[in-house]
Structure 1
Amino acid sequence: MRLRSLVAVLAASAIALTGCSGDTEAAGDSTVRVGVTPQPHGEILQYVKDNLAEQAGISIEIKQFNDYNRPNAAVLHGELDATYHQHKPFLKTYEQERGGDLVWVAPVHLEPLGLYSKKYSSPQEIPNGATITIPNDPSNRARSLKLLEDKGLITLKPGAGQEAGVRDIAENPRNLQLQELSASQIPRTLQDAAAAVVNGNYALKADLDKPIAIESPKGNPYVNGLVTSSAKQDNPEIAKLAELLTSQEVTDFIKREYGGQFVIPAS
């Protein structure tokens, strides 16, 4: 009888432990692993994690990267569930060049590109033959060229769009030398150039002063947003995260934290 009682107790304990293990796994299922660049994406997502996620019933694990390509690769390899660091043109170019099946989920904010200089206070002051550094990834390269065109420094060929390159420059009256660098490297080399086109997140990270020219947010296609894999696009936790990132609370946080200049909520 004692032996039977002991077996019964052990069996009940095993069932209880199995149940606990299952509960832990179920709870773990609500964790969303998200790849971000530190500023502003990591800061915005940290605000969501600290202030909104628990009430919404999800847990957020944040993984920071200092380049634009590795977060997408991590999602495709199953190491992450989503990324929050890119805009649609960059996503399109990434898939064309590297493959993969990624899905745009929701727009969150815009980081207007800025033209920065430690030597000149306006685009008009930049002299003939000066060097301007621009990002070398295709989507931000085209975006940079459009900014330079809008400020009267160059003219692009008719029809040059979101994949424009230096080859698409029709007129360069000042004979400007455009040097292409990784977007993350450009702030560190600003002192060596007449001016540089810098992405908003890297301008924030480098604590740059006010730009001498800035990209217009009106009708801008380069809004940053949440991206996942096609396999996880119907995941309810991804949907909850998208809802939080586009909430009024996050909109107010972005306005309060970044002052409406370097980071602008998606409209």
Structure 2
Amino acid sequence: MKKFIATLLAFGLVATLGACGAKESETTNPPAATGETGATDTTETTELQTIKVAATPVPHAEILNACVDMMAEKGYKLEVTEYSDYIIPNTAVEDGEEDANFFQHTPYLDQFNTDNGTHLVSVAKIHYEPMGIYPGKSASIEEVPDGGTVAVPNDVTNEARALQLLAAQGLIEIDPEAGLNATPKDITSNPKNLEFTELEAAMLPNTVEEFDLNVINSNFAMAAGLNPATDALASEGADSEGAQTYANVLVVKEGNEDNEAVKALIECLTSDETRAFIEETYGGAVVPVF
């Protein structure tokens, strides 16, 4: 009888040790996730903080989308919303619907704030887009007839820039004191009696055949399938007043300049990777300034 009880105790001890060994093994080496029922997934997921940025499609949204992976590595989900005008991207940031925008230069931003009572600030210069003169009814600048027609942007800053470019080609002369505030009223010499039509900047690529010449912002030209490097009859030089003044900027609402997500985005937009993307993608039609 004593021998039988000893046997039972020995068997129980072995079973207990076996069970403990199995339990320790499961704890030390948990099974990998296989997708099968009952498998354990020990992967920790980190939720990315979203930053919303408004942009015009080309090149701004394209440049931002090139930063998506870099932003994810920094812990942020970059959400880009495309707009086809120059108004809503600013009002959306002012109203808090978007965290930032990327489409405009500082003179336009300053004028927008003045006209609309908004509180938007630039936090980084990224690139400039040389404004170009594109053919329409006339195939070249030399072929523009007396009384020829020219389409220019209707906003104050871009119209002055367009007139300065036309002046650089010898088509007109402008009062030097007008500078980058010039309008057709500041034209002091117009030997070909050119007639100017002011249109919303985004509309200019759609009406090129209606005018002899068309002065178009590069972002809208590219969005319409025009290549500023090959299709423009003349463009702003890198040393022009327009190029130096009209660098495109990342914009936020005043008070958000030190937001960590915004700082991360600035780092991405001014990185060597982004510089390479701009240079390789646009071939001089978009020029980094950082």
Q: TM-score range by the shorter chain?
A: 0.7 to 0.9
Q: Does residue 223 of structure 1 match 2:244?
A: no
Structure 1 position 266 matched with structure 2 position 285:
no
Does the aligned pair in 1 maintain the 2:60–2:102 contact within 8 Å? Answer: yes
Say if 2:51 is the partner of 1:32: yes
Shift of 1:165: 1.1
Shift of 1:27: 4.5
The 8 Å contact of residues 106 and 247 in structure 2, kept in 1 or not, is answered as yes
Which of residues 251, 254, 267 in structure 1 aligns to 2:278? 254
1:75-101 per-position Cα deviation (integer Å, ceiling 9, x unaligned): 110111100000011101101111111
Aligned residue pair count: 240
| Secondary structure at the counterpart of residue 146 of structure 1 | helix
Preserved contact between residue 136 and residue 210 of structure 2 (Cα < 8 Å): no
Larger RCO, structure (CA 8 Å, separation 6 or more): 1
CA displacement, residues 129-178 of structure 1 (integer Å, 9 cap, x when unaligned) = 00000000111011001001111111111211222211111111111001
Unaligned 5+ residue runs, structure 2? 1-44
Q: Is the 8 A contact 1:154 1:171 kept in 2?
A: yes
Aligned to 1:158: 176
1:224, distance to aligned residue in structure 2 (A): 0.5
Corresponding residue number in structure 2 for 1:213: 234
Q: Residue 61 of structure 2: which of 22, 28, 42 is its match?
A: 42
Question: What's the Cα RMSD here?
Answer: 1.6
Secondary structure of 2:193's partner? coil
Is this contact kept in 2: 1:122–1:213, CA < 8 A?
A: no
| 1:108 and 1:245 in contact (8 A); partners too | yes
The C-alpha deviation readout for 1:103-136, integer Å capped at 9, x for no partner, is 1100111111000003444322212100000000
Detail structure 1 runs of 4+ shifted over 6 Å in the superposition.
Answer: none
SS at match of 1:232: coil
- Report deviation, 1:55: 1.2
- Describe the SS at the equivalent of 2:255: helix
**Matched letter for residue 74 of structure 1:** A
Structure 1 residue 61, shift from structure 2 partner: 1.1
Matched residue, 2:128: 110
Structure 1 CA distance for aligned equivalents of residues 212 and 226 of structure 2: 15
In 2, Cα distance between equivalents of 1:33 and 1:164 = 35
**3-state SS of paired residue (2:142):** helix
For residues 118 and 189 of structure 1, the distance between their equivalents in structure 2, rounded to whole angstroms, comes to 9
Q: TM-score, normalised by structure 1?
A: 0.86
SS across alignment from 2:202 = coil
Structure 2 match to 1:65: 83
Which runs of 5 or more structure 1 residues have no equivalent in the other structure? 1-23
Is the 1:110–1:217 contact (alpha carbons within 8 Å) kept by the matching residues of 2?
A: no
